[in-house]
Amino acid sequence: MIVRAYSLSGRQPGGSGQALAMMLVFLVACAGVAWVTMGMTTREQWPVRWLELGGAFERISAEQLRASLAPLVTGSFFTVDMEEIKQTAYRQPWVAQAAVSKLWPDTVSVRVVEYQPVAHWTQGRLVSTDGDAFSVPGASEIQGLPWLEGPEEKLDEVFKSWRYFNNLLMPTGQEIQHIRLDARGSWFVELSNGTEVQIGREAASERLHRLVDSWAELLQGRDLAPMGIDLRYTNGFAVRWPEAPRQIAGTYGQKN
């Protein structure tokens, strides 16, 4: 990289007298920088007077967050530890994201985004809208959320399959209240009407489509929903009714 300096006055660099003057200017500038730097590190000179908090504050209160962060806002405006404030905000229950910034001349601003739970997961945890598992006090007591279950390393697959299967089942008016992926890779779901559906390990999408296509016929003339449906058949599925525990295999959804 080449850097060139041009004087706007049109003068060319002079002799030793000009060099001495430039040296004096340089020394004065250095002294000024040193004075300002020492002042920056003094709390009395540049105190942080305000802690500004922003967020939805649906699950965590602003007062709770303030109590955790206020003791960390020490030092001057220039030396306050922003990373420590950020990490402390992250450690608060329900905080998914945290951003910390300074607002001249005396304010530290903290913005937080809370987790939005969409389902329960194993070990008393919840799943966020992004498919991330997180822990908060009293998570297992939260009502109205479906339950996702499976091996820990399969969370992403279970989460995406739950959403995908729900979309497939939409024409039936049913939603998945419980979905489980076992160690063998076999799927099981429980619908909002209480029907338990065995999907199996293979062709899950095709099998659910078969169920959806036959749903209206299946419930025609029935007052009660099926207790269980087994989709693990080649050309149909088995249904178990409340009044008739006997399974009838291959009757519904059968292809010619």
Q: pLDDT tens per residue, the chain (256 residues)?
A: 222 221 222 334 444 445 444 555 455 455 444 444 555 555 568 999 999 999 999 999 999 999 999 999 988 999 999 999 999 999 999 999 999 999 999 999 999 999 999 999 999 999 999 999 999 999 999 999 999 999 999 999 999 999 999 999 999 999 999 999 999 999 999 999 999 999 999 999 999 999 999 999 999 998 899 999 999 998 899 999 997 555 544 555 655 4
- Is residue 107 within 8 Å of residue 49, measured between CB atoms? yes
| CATH architecture of the domain with range 146-252 | 3-Layer(aba) Sandwich (3.40)
C-alpha 51 chain-centroid distance:
25
The Cα 189–Cα 180 span in angstroms is 6
Burial of 129: CB neighbours in 10 Å, binned 0-12, 13-18, 19+: exposed
Do the bridges between strand 176-181 and strand 147-149 make them parallel or antiparallel, or are there none, so unpaired?
Answer: parallel
Give the model's pLDDT for residue 75. 83
Domain ranges of the chain: 50-114, 146-252
Same fold, 50-114 and 146-252: no
The Cα 207–Cα 125 span in angstroms is 30
Q: Check residue 24 and give left, alpha or beta (phi > 0: left; psi -120 to 50: alpha).
A: alpha
Give how far Cα 37 sits from Cα of 23, 76, 107, 206, 224, Å. Answer: 21, 12, 19, 70, 78
Give the model's pLDDT for residue 180. 98
C-alpha 140 chain-centroid distance:
18
* CATH topology for the 50-114 domain: Ubiquitin-like (UB roll) (3.10.20)
